[in-house]
């Protein structure tokens, strides 16, 4: 089996994403009545982000230990309602420092 | 024919904060994409044509793992299915100037934040306003990816390794505040996390590729939350608002 070219992946990716956005706006003009479906659609983003973030975040830096430090910092700052950019920069800095310390000892 | 009172400039102004937010999130995406073997050029093109965060992160993981095109299509469908709802909802608030071609173009720009801003306007919106609203975020998202990708290619390895956590930290920052105030979101995210750990670490399940794992976890967790914590009816929602 030969490798799939990058452009094919990007085409499928962008094509499906666009169709999901475009189809209802062009074709469908009604509201979704099903309560289950509306609830499901409301929760999907958080389900996706939860599943994508954990455990992947623990494998996103040079070691599980430094990633765990970064995650704890991100969780604590998010809990206190800090902005996305603050949380991200702090998590990177924490992971970097943790990795320095791990390398030192 | 009823027309929207909002101009192109109004859209540009409302889109600016979104553009700045996207600039930083997509910087993280650029870094992590380059870390997974893509060039900064590929990452930038992906951002320009997709304009979505979670879908792109999952997509790049599938590319890196050399997954199938079917897996890619299904993953994008599930991860981005929320845009279906937003598109339906936004379609009810378009003014009379929204002809079919405008609908084809503007629907490309539906994201969580753009939808939220457009929906929060007291009056209906027109094509000019929507183009203004979408322009800044598209530039911010694409430019941030470019900068992140280039940074990923030139920064030292130790810095890149630490910055790999950026995009995930932002996901944490999106979910946790919502989970604090909404039990349904909390339970939904907790179930998704638990399932995701099972899929990754239980030997028999870990053979399922990453893209499919996200789909399975998301569908199960969102279904469970929808049954346990159904959202209020639209009439009730409007009464609350």
Which tens digits make up the pLDDT trace of B177-229? 999 999 999 999 999 999 999 999 999 998 887 778 888 998 999 999 999 99
DSSP state of B155: S
Which tens digits make up the pLDDT trace of B20-54? 878 888 999 999 999 999 999 999 999 999 999 89
The rounded distance, in Å, linking the Cα atoms of A69 and B47 is 29
Q: Do A17 and B52 touch (CB under 8 A)?
A: yes
CB of A40 closer than 8 Å to CB of B103:
no
**Helix, coil or strand: residue B64:** helix
Residues of A in contact with B50 (CB under 8 A): 13-14, 17
Residue of B nearest to A36 (CA): B226
What value does the mean pLDDT take over residues B102-120? 90
The rounded distance, in Å, linking the Cα atoms of B192 and A47 is 5
CB of A46 closer than 8 Å to CB of B188:
yes
A63 Cα to chain B: minimum distance (Å)? 9
DSSP state of A60: S
Which tens digits make up the pLDDT trace of A47-102? 988 998 999 999 989 999 999 999 999 999 999 999 877 898 999 999 999 999 99
Residue A79 CA, chain-centre distance (Å), reads 17
Q: Domain residues of chain A, as ranges?
A: 6-104
The rounded distance, in Å, linking the Cα atoms of A55 and A77 is 19
Q: Domain residues of chain B, as ranges?
A: 8-175, 182-241
Please determine, for residue B89, whether its predicted confidence score (pLDDT) is greater than 80: no
The rounded distance, in Å, linking the Cα atoms of B106 and B87 is 10
Q: Tell the residue number behind the tokens 């969102």, with chain if given.
A: B222
């Amino acid at each position: 089996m030969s490798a799939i070219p990058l452009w094919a992946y990007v085409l499928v990716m962008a094509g499906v994403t666009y169709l999901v956005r475009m189809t209802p706006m062009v074709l469908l003009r009604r509201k979704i009545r099903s309560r289950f479906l509306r609830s499901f659609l409301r929760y999907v983003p958080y389900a996706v982000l939860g599943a994508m973030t954990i455990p992947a975040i623990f494998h996103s830096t040079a070691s599980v230990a430094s990633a765990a430090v970064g995650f704890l910092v991100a969780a604590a700052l998010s809990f206190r309602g800090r902005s996305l950019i603050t949380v991200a920069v702090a998590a990177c800095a924490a992971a970097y420092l943790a990795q320095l310390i791990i390398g030192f000892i | 024919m009823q027309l929207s009172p909002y101009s192109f400039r109004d859209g540009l102004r409302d889109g600016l904060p979104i553009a700045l937010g996207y600039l930083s999130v997509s910087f993280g995406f650029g870094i992590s994409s380059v870390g997974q073997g893509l060039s900064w050029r590929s990452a930038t093109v992906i951002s320009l044509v997709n304009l979505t965060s979670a879908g792109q992160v999952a997509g790049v993981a599938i590319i890196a793992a050399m997954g199938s095109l079917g897996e890619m299509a299904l993953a994008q469908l599930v991860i981005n299915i929320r845009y279906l709802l937003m598109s339906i909802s936004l379609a009810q608030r378009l003014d009379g100037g929204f002809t079919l071609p405008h609908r084809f173009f503007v629907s490309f720009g539906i994201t969580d934040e753009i939808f939220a801003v457009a929906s929060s306007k007291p009056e209906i919106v027109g094509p000019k306003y929507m183009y203004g609203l979408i322009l800044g975020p598209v530039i911010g998202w694409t430019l941030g990816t470019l900068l992140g990708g280039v940074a990923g290619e030139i920064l030292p390895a130790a810095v890149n390794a630490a910055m790999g956590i950026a995009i995930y930290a932002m996901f944490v920052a999106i979910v946790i505040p919502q989970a604090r105030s909404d039990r349904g979101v909390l339970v939904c995210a907790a179930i998704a996390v638990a399932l995701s750990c099972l899929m990754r670490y239980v030997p028999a399940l870990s053979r399922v590729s990453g893209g499919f794992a996200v789909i399975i976890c998301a569908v199960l967790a969102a279904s469970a939350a929808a049954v346990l914590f159904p959202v209020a009816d639209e009439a009730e929602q409007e009464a609350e608002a």
